[in-house]
Amino acid sequence: MYARRRHVYFALMGTCLVLFVLAWAVVRLWSTEAAVAMCVVAMVIPPVAAMTANRRGPDDRWWDDPSGDPRSDEWWDELDGRKPPG
């Protein structure tokens, strides 16, 4: 799941960069309004990409969810300071 979200993030950010560069390198020669519209669309993409990359998937472990593996849960509890080392 993490790799898929990372790929989607980079695809969205790549699209953002392509839109921005094309808007001011090519499209502005024919239509300034279209170039501005492309930049507005490019402006909306980074927050959407960040939300996509940082959302929790159904199989992702949340910071306080038990995993079901007793050894792993003990390790996480110790790491989080909920249980003394030992």
What are the extents of the domains in the chain?
2-80
pLDDT at 76 (0 to 100): 75
pLDDT for 78 equals 79
Please tell me the total number of residues recorded for the chain in this structure. Answer: 86
Type of residue numbered 67? S
pTM of the complete model beyond 0.75: no
pLDDT at residue number 79 = 75
Q: Is pLDDT of 46 > 90?
A: yes
CB of 76 closer than 8 Å to CB of 33: no
Q: How far apart are CA 23 and CA 46, in angstroms?
A: 17
- What's the pLDDT tens digit per position in 47-73? 999 998 888 776 666 666 667 788 877
How far is the C-alpha of 52 from the C-alpha of 50, rounded, in Å?
5
Report residue 77 as tokens: 């509890």
